[in-house]
Structure 1
Amino acid sequence: MATKNPKLKISKGQYSVYDLLDRAKKCQENYDYDMANRYCKRAIEMEPDNVEVLENIGSIFMDFGDWDSAKELFERCVSLSPDTGYQKYMYLGQVNVAEDAVNFFQKGIELMIKELNTFPANSEKAKDLSKKISSALCSIVEMYMTDLCDEPNAEENCEKYILEAEKYCNNNYEVYQTMASVRMSQNRQEEAKELVIKSINLWKDLSVDDENYPEYPIRVNLAKLMLELKMNTDALSLLQSLLQEDDEIVEVSYLCGWCYYLLGEELDENGKIDEQVRKEAWEDARLCFINLINRFGLSSPDDQQVLNHSIELKNKITSVIGEISNIPEQNIEINDDEWEDIDNEMDLE
C-alpha cells in the first residue's frame, strides 16, 4: 500500500493523489493493469513533480513489467531530487544494463551509506539498510558476471564487491548465493557448494510468509546453480517445492525434468551408471517433459528453446528405455531455427 503522507493529499475533484495511489495498488493486487494504469496517469497529472508519487507509480509499473514507463518515471525522479532517496536508483539499476546499471546501484549505495551513518549501529533501521546495501552490492557482482563479464577487471570487481557485501551483512543469504556463483565461475566448486549450503541454512527454517524468505526467482536461480554444481538431489527437493508453490512456471517444470535426467546419468561408486536407477529417474524426467509439452507447448512461443529441448530429451529417453503407455502426448514439432544445444548449459535467460 502507498504510504500515507500529508504531501500526497492534494485533491483534484473528489480524489486526492493518495486516493488514486491506493486504488492503483488495489488494482495491482488484483492484476488489473488497465485500471491501475488509469489511476496512475491521473495521479501523475495531479502531481507531475512529486517524487514520492512518481516513485510509487514507478514501482507499480515495474510490478506489471512495464519497464519503459517505470524507467521514465525514475529518471524524472532523479532529475527532480538527485541527492536524496536511494530507492529510485535501485529501480534504475534493475531496468538498465552494464555500466549504466552499475552506476545507478553505486549512487543508491552511496545514499544508503549516508543514511546508515545517521542511525545507531545496532538499530533495526541500521540492520535493514545494511542488508539492502549488501544486496545492492550483490547486484553489481551479478552485472560483472553477465553484461560486464568481458571487462578486464571483471573478476577483480566481483571479488571486491562480494567481500564488501559480506562486510555489510554477514547473515544475508543473497551474499553467499552470489559468492557461490563467483566461486563457481572461478572453478572453485567445493567452496561454491559450501557457500550454497551456508546460504540455504540462513533461510531454510523460515516460513514462506517471512519477509526474509527468498523470493521465487532467487530460488529458481539457486536451483540452477545447484544443478551446475551437480547437487542434483538437493536441487530436486528445491525444484519440487517451487512446483508446489507455483506449477505454472515453464522454466521450473523444465528444470525439474532436467534434474531427473541428470540423476539418471550419475555414476555409482564403481564409476558406472546403474541402469535401474537411470530407468526410474528417466521415467520421471519423461513425465515432466510430457507434462510440460502438453500444458505449455502450444501457448508458449517465448519458451520455444525450453520446449525444443524437452522434446529432444523426451525422445532420447524413449529411444533408450522404451515407450511409455497411457500418457497422452501432443504432436509438437521442434522449431529447428530456434533450437540450441543446451545439454551442457544451464543459462536459460
Structure 2
Amino acid sequence: MGKTRSSKNKTGASSRASTSKAEQPTATDLIAQAHAYLGQSNFEQAINSLALALDIEPANREAKEILGIAEIEGGDVEKGREHLTGLLPPHVQDPAPSTYLYLAQTAPTPQEALQLYESAIKLLESKIEAFSTRGSGMEEEDADADVDVDVTKEELMKECITALVAMIEIWMSDLCFEPQASSECDTLIARALSIDPNDIDALLTLSSIRMSQSKADEAKQVILQVSRLVMDVIDRIDKAEDEGEAAVTSTNTETSDTTGQDRMADEADSNPVVRDLPSIPTRHLLTRLLLEHHQYVQALRVNDSVRREDELEVEGCYLEGWAWYCRGEAIEAGDEEGAKEKLPEEETLPSKNECWTEALSSFMECASLHESQEHPDQGILAHVQELIPLLEKAGIVVEVDDEEAGEDVDMA
C-alpha cells in the first residue's frame, strides 16, 4: 500500500507541476497585458509585465519598445529614451520607424526631433515603395523583406503623412522665426500631398501654412476642398442609412441593405482616401475653420456627424450651439455668404430666432454635459455661460417636453 500511495503522490505532484508550467504566461501574453495596462494609464503595472516578458525573451524588441514608451508615459523620460535608443543603429541594423517616431516626440531640441522624424519617414517611404514594387511584379522573396504583413500600404502612407505634418508643426512653432521656415513648410507639405493629395490632415495643415503666409483666400479654398471631401463621406453614409431604413419594410431586407452597403464600399474603394470619416478632433478643427470662414451650414453638417457618433461629446455640443448662434447673427446682419445656404432638411431659411433657439438648446445641453463629465476645457464652459444669458435676454426660450423636464436642460 505504501508503495502505491507513494506512486500516486509522485503522479499528483507531476501533474500539478505540469499544470503550473502550462499556466505560466508567455512573453506574448505579458506584452498583451502591458498594452491593456497602457490603455488604462497604469504605467507601473505595464512596466512590471514588460520586465517579466523580457525575463522570458530578453531580445524581444516589441517588449523593449513598449517598455520605453511606458517609462516615458509614466514620467521617466530619460530611462524610456535610453531603452528606445537601444533599438536604433548601431545596436540594431533594422530599426522600426515607430522607434524614431516615439523618440522624436520627446526630443530635447526641435532640430533633433526633425532628424528623428526624417529617419522614420525614410523607413516608411521604403516600406511604401516595397508595397508598390511588390505589386509591379517583383520577385516576392525580394519584395517581402521590407513588407510588414501586419500593416497595409494605406496605414504606412498615413503614418508617413502624420510624421511630415509633425515636422511642419515644429517649423510653424519652435522654429517659426527661422528664415527658411516658410520654404521648409512648403517642401514638407508638398511631400505629404504627393503621398496622398486628398489626406484631410495634410490639407488642413496646408490651410494653416497658407494662413501663416497671409494667403487667406488660398487657405479658404483648401478648407472648402476638405469640407467637400468630408461631405462626400457624410452624404454616402446618409444614403446608405436611408437605403437601410427603406430595406426594413422590403420583403427582401437583407439583399437590399447589403446592396446599399456594397455600393457604398465600392465608392470608397474607388477613392480610398475618403472612405471613412476623419477623427472627431479633425472634424472639430474643420468645423471651427468653416465657422471662421462663415460656412455655417457646412459647419453644422460636419459637426452633426460628430453628434451622431457621440451625442455626449462636449465640444461637439458646444460647436453645434456656436454654429447656430453665428448663423442667426449672419441672417440678422444679412450676411450673404453666411446666410444663403440651407440644410438638406430645410425648405426655407430659418429666422434669426429659430437659429438662436437651436443655439440656446445646444448651449444648455453643453453646460449640463460639461458639469456631469467634469470636462477639463473651462474655456468652453465660460463661453457657454456668457452666451446663455445673452440669448435669454433677447427673449429666446427653449421649450422642454414634460418627459425631458428636469433632465438634460435643467439649468436652474
TM-score, structure 2 normalization = 0.63
1:247-305, CA deviations, whole angstroms, 9 ceiling, x for partnerless residues? Answer: 33322221121111111121436799999722111111111111111222265262222
SS at match of 1:265: helix
Aligned to 1:235: 299
Pair 1:320-2:327 in alignment: no
Pair 1:268-2:268 in alignment: no
Read off the aligned partner of 2:366 and give its amino acid letter.
Answer: L
Read off the aligned partner of 1:87 and give its amino acid letter.
Answer: S
Distance in 2 (alpha carbons) for counterparts of 1:291 and 1:71: 44
Please list, as runs of the form range in 1=range in 2, the aligned pairs for 1:112-261 lying within 5 A after superposition. 112-116=124-128, 118=130, 120-121=132-133, 123=135, 127-128=153-154, 129-202=156-229, 204-205=232-233, 213=276, 214-261=278-325
Aligned to 1:78: 85
Distance in 2 (alpha carbons) for counterparts of 1:135 and 1:148: 19
**Cα pair distance change 1:91/1:253, threshold 3 Å:** farther
**Cα pair distance change 1:322/1:74, threshold 3 Å:** same
**Cα pair distance change 1:236/1:15, threshold 3 Å:** same
**Cα pair distance change 1:301/1:175, threshold 3 Å:** closer
Please list, as runs of the form range in 1=range in 2, the aligned pairs for 1:12-51 lying within 5 A after superposition. 14-25=24-35, 32-34=40-42, 38=45, 40-47=47-54, 50-51=60-61
**Cα pair distance change 1:279/1:23, threshold 3 Å:** same
Distance in 2 (alpha carbons) for counterparts of 1:18 and 1:276: 59
Distance in 2 (alpha carbons) for counterparts of 1:193 and 1:215: 21
CA-atom RMSD, angstroms? 4.0
The answer for unaligned runs of 5 or more in structure 2 is: 1-20, 137-146, 238-263, 341-348
Pair 1:310-2:381 in alignment: no
SS at match of 2:377: helix
Distance in 1 (alpha carbons) for counterparts of 2:297 and 2:82: 45
SS at match of 2:311: coil
Aligned length: 315
Distance in 1 (alpha carbons) for counterparts of 2:310 and 2:79: 32
User: 1:88 pairs with 99, 107, 113, which one?
Assistant: 99
Distance in 1 (alpha carbons) for counterparts of 2:336 and 2:96: 60
Asked if the contact 2:210–2:219 (Cα under 8 Å) also holds between the matched residues in 1, the reply is yes
Distance in 2 (alpha carbons) for counterparts of 1:215 and 1:142: 19
Asked if the contact 1:254–1:289 (Cα under 8 Å) also holds between the matched residues in 2, the reply is yes
Read off the aligned partner of 1:249 and give its amino acid letter.
Answer: E
Aligned to 1:111: 123
**Cα pair distance change 1:234/1:200, threshold 3 Å:** closer
**Cα pair distance change 1:200/1:272, threshold 3 Å:** closer
Distance in 1 (alpha carbons) for counterparts of 2:50 and 2:214: 51
- Displacement, 1:242? 0.4
SS at match of 1:252: helix
SS at match of 1:297: helix
Asked if the contact 2:30–2:49 (Cα under 8 Å) also holds between the matched residues in 1, the reply is yes
Read off the aligned partner of 1:330 and give its amino acid letter.
Answer: M
Asked if the contact 1:58–1:71 (Cα under 8 Å) also holds between the matched residues in 2, the reply is no
- Displacement, 1:113? 3.5
State which drifts further: 76-85 or 284-293.
Answer: 76-85
Asked if the contact 2:114–2:167 (Cα under 8 Å) also holds between the matched residues in 1, the reply is yes
1:166-189, CA deviations, whole angstroms, 9 ceiling, x for partnerless residues? Answer: 223324333222212222333433
**Cα pair distance change 1:297/1:230, threshold 3 Å:** same
Distance in 2 (alpha carbons) for counterparts of 1:46 and 1:131: 31
Aligned to 2:411: 330
Aligned to 1:286: 360
Asked if the contact 2:320–2:359 (Cα under 8 Å) also holds between the matched residues in 1, the reply is yes
Read off the aligned partner of 2:220 and give its amino acid letter.
Answer: K
Distance in 2 (alpha carbons) for counterparts of 1:284 and 1:40: 49
State which drifts further: 286-295 or 171-180.
Answer: 171-180
Aligned to 2:260: none
TM-score, structure 1 normalization = 0.73
Which of the pair has more CA radius of gyration?
2
Distance in 1 (alpha carbons) for counterparts of 2:283 and 2:65: 27
**Cα pair distance change 1:72/1:107, threshold 3 Å:** farther
Asked if the contact 2:30–2:52 (Cα under 8 Å) also holds between the matched residues in 1, the reply is no
SS at match of 1:44: helix
- Displacement, 1:227? 2.0
Aligned to 1:102: 114
The answer for unaligned runs of 5 or more in structure 1 is: 1-10, 332-349
